[in-house]
Amino acid sequence: MSATMIKEFKLPDLGEGLTESEILSWKVAVGDTVSLNQVIAEVETAKAVVELPSPFAGVVAALHEEPGTVVEVGKPIVSFEVDDAGAAQGAEATDAESPAGPAKREPNLVGYGAVVEHSGRPARRARAAAPAVAPRAEETAVGERPRSTPPVRKLARDLGVDLERVTGTGPHGLITREDVQNFAGASAPDAQAPTAPAALDRETRTPVKGVRKFSAAAMVQSAFTAPHVTEFLTVDVTPTMELLARLKSNKAFDGVKLTPLTIAAKAVLIALRNNPTLNTHWDDEKQEIVQYHYVNLGIAAATPRGLTVPNIKDAEQLPLRELAVQLSELTDTARAGKTSPADLSGGTISITNIGVFGIDAGTPILNPGEAAIVALGAVRKAPWVVDDELVVRQVMSLSLSFDHRLVDGEQGSRFLADLGAILSDPAIVLTMV
């Protein structure tokens, strides 16, 4: 009979030296039997929401952190009860050759790469009477974190209450909502001040963390380190809109989502060929200008968790149909909060489509590490002069921000002019390639 032991799983570094992650949800509970590499939790890093696989095959003995908790890398988050086979990370499991077929090795996010056991719904042991989120053994000592629920901890943050100073009146010393409110009322300097609930009705405070915290820091760094210049150009995109309509009726594009962004993205890639200085990077540490010979095209996406800029790798190599498919997948994944850290890294130039919000122009801030970003305005019908006659055309404003350390005014202007020329007459591409 194999011996059993308790194994702790510490929060790993999920990429690029990130120091913390927030536990969004647990996919398992105490008493569940899990297989190797089974998804056990969903966590949010500073860049993305990722699924966390189990490094062990065994039974969940304790969940050390509740959803909503920000955990530092290296801290235990879950304990497993495992036998000798389950503890042998990377080794083949003793029951690998099951009726469901032999086990196989598969890559995964945090690099366990061990045996994947047969699939199926996890078995579930009878639940113990202990709470679903069990405290760590060391937390029973003096100095343990005050016991409370996530809503109560949020209320305490909103009211500026230090839970270390609050005495819990709930079961086993649990700090309740009333405990926090009573403490806040007793600590108020003015007895006539509004009660806690009334004060909360007047404002909402949301902790800055995860993707929004990372994005805010990145934008501040970019704005105050790269000398931004923004130029504008309004163009007649009627020919582009006509081309878009023809492509939508073309059988080669059946089932493919086509938008003005699709054509604009391809136009950006073509314009870069004659204006490569916009596809560069300023290496401040080495005091070098890095010229990229590939294009990882970033697409700014507004998500419920904040702004993200995932990118399409080697976009310059893609035909229009494949580019359209990847654009659609990229934006859908971003809005669902499922973008991987790899897709958020390594961009070389970006596009932000502010036109979808009905905005004509703006001064976009550079994605850190990139030399340029293009903002696409809304396509609107407007009076336009064609052959000395005033006619109604579909027009769009283009905004180009660039790093003046890397891109001179002439270079930025030529790129913007080329981009505008393509969108106003797609056939001009024949003279550029």
Q: What is the pLDDT of residue 86?
A: 62
Average pLDDT of span 275-300: 95
Task: Give residue 117's identity as a one-letter amino acid code.
Answer: E
As a residue count, the chain comes to 433
Residue 193 banded pLDDT, cuts 50, 70, 90? very low
The pLDDT value given to residue 380? 97
Distance spanning both ends of the chain, measured CA to CA = 71
Rounded Cα distance between 155 and 174, Å, is 15
The pLDDT value given to residue 116: 38
What domains lie within the chain, and their CATH numbers? 4-140 (2.40.50.100), 150-201 (4.10.320.10), 210-431 (3.30.559.10)
Q: Which residues contact 316 (CB under 8 A, 6 or more apart)?
A: 269, 272, 273, 294, 295
Is 293 considered catalytic here?
A: no
Of 96, 91, 115, the C-alpha closest to 105 is 115
For the cut 90, the answer to whether the pLDDT of residue 259 exceeds it is yes
Which of 370, 214, 243, 223 has the alpha carbon at shortest distance from 297? 370
Structure confidence at residue 399 (pLDDT): 98
Q: Phi and psi (nearest 5°) for 152? A: -70, -40
Contact 373, 351 (CB under 8 A): yes
Reported as a pLDDT band with limits 50, 70 and 90, residue 184 is confident
- For the segment 389-421, what is each residue's pLDDT rounded down to a tens digit? 999 999 999 999 999 999 999 999 999 999 999
Which residues make Cβ contacts (< 8 Å) with residue 403, sequence separation at least 6? 226, 227, 228, 282, 366, 370, 371, 372
Rounded to 5 degrees, what are φ and ψ at 39? Answer: -65, 125
Q: What are phi and psi of 210, to 5 degrees?
A: 60, -140
CA dist 248 and 234 (Å) reads 25
Cα(46)–Cα(63) distance, integer angstroms: 22
Predicted pLDDT at 47: 66
Looking at the predicted structure, is the pLDDT value of residue 224 above 70? yes
Residue with tokens 């002439």: 410
Q: Which of 64, 172, 228, 404 is catalytic?
A: 404
Inform me whether the pLDDT recorded for 245 exceeds 70.
yes
In this model, does residue 95 exceed pLDDT 50? Answer: no
